[in-house]
A = this chain, B = another copy of it.
């Protein structure tokens, strides 16, 4: 299984992005032009897959595509942008933290509500026996 290249289907399978999404990401430049075989079909490298893993992390944590594009750009520009990349990721990390905090807060409120409903039921044990 040390195939050094992967077909679109394999990549979709592995990354969880749909074929259309993979093409879309390439179109908008989030994915650098992917290599092709003689017939013009995409052949992804291990590197491409690694980058897609990064994209997956950023998307799943709610980074908008515009910002991922910025990050992609920085990455392409080379090592001298590493500080900028760190700054970008750290800012994002803070947003993720806030996101989790908000989720937890709202979740607590919802659990409260569930508890309240349970109490209501406890007072009226049998639905139609009031």
Q: Which residues of A contact B (CB under 8 A)?
A: 53-54, 56-58, 60-61, 79-80, 82-83, 85-86, 89-90, 92-93, 96-97, 99-100, 102-104, 106-107, 109-111, 113-114, 117-118, 120-121, 124, 127
Contact = CB atoms under 8 A, between A and B. Distances in A.
**Which 10 pairs of residues, A with B, have the shortest CB-CB distance?**
A57-B106, A60-B106, A86-B117, A96-B107, A61-B106, A57-B109, A89-B114, A82-B117, A57-B110, A100-B103
Given A61-B106, A102-B60, A109-B57, A79 B114 contact: no
A89 B103 contact: no
Contact of A110 (B89, B110, B111): B89
Nearest to A89: B114
A103 B96 contact: yes
A111 to B, nearest CB: 7
Contacts of A92: 110
A107 B104 CA distance: 16
A114 B61 CA distance: 15
